[in-house]
Structure 1
Amino acid sequence: MTAVDRLTSGDHACLTFSETEERLDLLAAFVTAGIQRDETVVCYTDALKPDELREDLRRRGVPADERIVPASELWGTGAAPDASIMVRHLAAERQRAPRGLRVTLDMCWAARPQAGAEQLLVFENEVSKLFADGGITAMCEYDREAFDSVTLAYASRTHPRTVTATVYHEDASLRICRQHVPPGVRVAGELDGTGSAALRDALAEAVRLDPDVHLNLGHLRSLDDDAAAVIVRAASGLPRNRHMIVVSDRRLGRVLRLAGAHGVPNLRLLEKSL
């Protein structure tokens, strides 16, 4: 596994995801790293329209320095995806990038009936040759809902790097993972006393790593008193010049206020209609 912000020139990485928010979070970190390195950044999108992806990246604080285009631009005027044309297109993009090319590839195009399974095999095998001389960094994104297990296993084998979020806890009812942009922790599902220890560990790491801690509860369905107390204690332990920013709905905000959030200057509640 490789941290998404540590991918560099010559890296060809595979991201498999089941949560759209997590995919967009990692994508934002990948794009931001490229912009900071002054690379040419191109995002080929399929599941989302370019304007939709652009808005999602802006909400995550990504500067407007990348190019976002439909995946169909890779095969040009052809009616169906053609792997050879796609690889030639990327090779040409690399030649035009003075400080290196960084691309994200939404691979949902390969799940289309007209694509043909052989096109994915040809593409991943041929595109790997572009990385031998450096000058290009790529992250191929595979939605677990769009591909079967055999294809996903093949994708993992053909990529030298695998990208994933750090997961602190995951079971049928709760997922706690690292959020890259903005830096912090994302929690989804139902959070009660049984998940409090994992939440405490996740917040402790965020306190060590991040200037301010962003806690995203946007996909949290329920929050009990014990878990709310963990959040309030973590925020109250921050130095005066640091903050915990919690994004939640009004219902969860009430639980946090009852746990004492209103008395912690370092804790900022952003209540949204989620």
Structure 2
Amino acid sequence: MADPTTVDRLRPGDHVCWTFDDHERHLRALVRFLRKGLEHDQKVLYITDTFLPPAFLAAAQAYGVEVRQPLNDGQLHVTTAEESFLSDGSFEPERALKGWTAAIDQARAEGWSGLRVAADMGWTVRPLVDMGELARYEAQANQIFSAGYAMALCCYDRRLFTHAELERISAAHPGAARAGAGSVEEWEPLLRIRRTPDGVSLDGAADRTNCDALAAVLDPLAAAADDSDTPLVIDVAGLTFADVATARLLAGTVAAGRGRILLRGARPALVELLAVIGSIQAPRAPELTAAKGTPA
């Protein structure tokens, strides 16, 4: 699994697929994730399907994290999948997404600097959960987390899922941390998607490994542009790499906006790729001016 220290590099707005196959290292990663949240005055929520809540809290305390006061203050909450995702006896994606919005609103109202969520996803292998439905839910969650207040660590035990299932689930997250991540070199989520006052910004690399996550955030932009007083902007100045599928997605989003969505800061390689695709002609307008620097 990824080195436990990898969680130290997560930021508000990140939504990461964290795969593991060792419960002790998973526990260490969760405790680090918890500790950082408490230190940064964030509300911390852990939905466990791996450890019993009392056992996890006792382990965190043994690792030197004082949990009693945060529990009393409402800063820390540890629950189970049965009490959250499956509280009505089945998994309902729309209800779960509304639950995240409500949890964010509550954390804001309580004055916390952010919301930090870790969720064990082993419960999804039960017959009552459809993998396609789960992947769509994970993709749609990016619309919520990309606002930049909350971060989510979705923990998948590789021993419970097929390679194909993990590939599909990973594509619904902007970034994934797999075996070895962070142990040799510094790790960052592959792509960071953030909603901005005038649209969306993209930083990092966009390819087939996070295509569904990006599509879920870009798809609603055309409708949003119709209701906006000014054109919406997809800021790609921080996009260091984009494959052909990503370029097609960007071009299609701009076209769907009918002049109400602008692509800004494209690096030379992306500009050329868009021109080759033919959906957007070689740029002349400022919003399509290639950014100086290393090609994407």
Structure 2 length-normalised TM: 0.53
Map 1:80-99; keep pairs closer than 5 Å: 80-98=90-108, 99=113
| 1:154 equivalent in alignment to 2:168 | yes
Which of 111, 121, 133 is the matching residue for 2:147? Answer: 133
Map 1:88-127; keep pairs closer than 5 Å: 88-98=98-108, 99-127=113-141
Structure 1 length-normalised TM: 0.57
User: Do the aligned partners of residues 166 and 81 (structure 1) sit closer, same or farther apart at CA in structure 2, a change above 3 Å counting?
Assistant: same
CA-CA distance at 1:76 after TM superposition? 5.8
Partner Cα separation in structure 2 for residue 56 and residue 87 of structure 1: 30
Which has the larger share of strand?
1
Q: Match for residue 142 of structure 1?
A: 156
Aligned partners of 2:42 and 2:116 also within 8 Å: yes
| 1:44 equivalent in alignment to 2:54 | no
Map 1:241-260; keep pairs closer than 5 Å: none
Equivalent residue of 2:83, what SS? helix
Map 1:60-75; keep pairs closer than 5 Å: 60-64=63-67, 65=70, 66-75=76-85
Structure 2 letter corresponding to 1:9? P
Q: Match for residue 88 of structure 2?
A: 78
| Number of residue-to-residue matches in the alignment | 168
Q: Match for residue 252 of structure 1?
A: none
Q: Match for residue 55 of structure 1?
A: 58
User: Do the aligned partners of residues 117 and 76 (structure 1) sit closer, same or farther apart at CA in structure 2, a change above 3 Å counting?
Assistant: closer
CA-CA distance at 1:163 after TM superposition? 3.2
Aligned partners of 1:81 and 1:109 also within 8 Å: no
| 1:35 equivalent in alignment to 2:49 | no
Partner Cα separation in structure 2 for residue 141 and residue 156 of structure 1: 11
Aligned partners of 2:120 and 2:155 also within 8 Å: yes
Which of 15, 18, 21 is the matching residue for 2:21? Answer: 18
User: Do the aligned partners of residues 85 and 37 (structure 1) sit closer, same or farther apart at CA in structure 2, a change above 3 Å counting?
Assistant: same
User: Do the aligned partners of residues 77 and 161 (structure 1) sit closer, same or farther apart at CA in structure 2, a change above 3 Å counting?
Assistant: closer
Aligned partners of 1:82 and 1:119 also within 8 Å: no
CA-CA distance at 1:52 after TM superposition? 1.9
Structure 1 letter corresponding to 2:98? R
Extract unaligned runs of 5+ from structure 2. 71-75, 185-296
Partner Cα separation in structure 1 for residue 33 and residue 87 of structure 2: 29
RMSD of aligned residue pairs (Cα, Å)? 2.0
Q: Match for residue 257 of structure 2?
A: none
Partner Cα separation in structure 2 for residue 145 and residue 34 of structure 1: 28
Equivalent residue of 2:107, what SS? coil
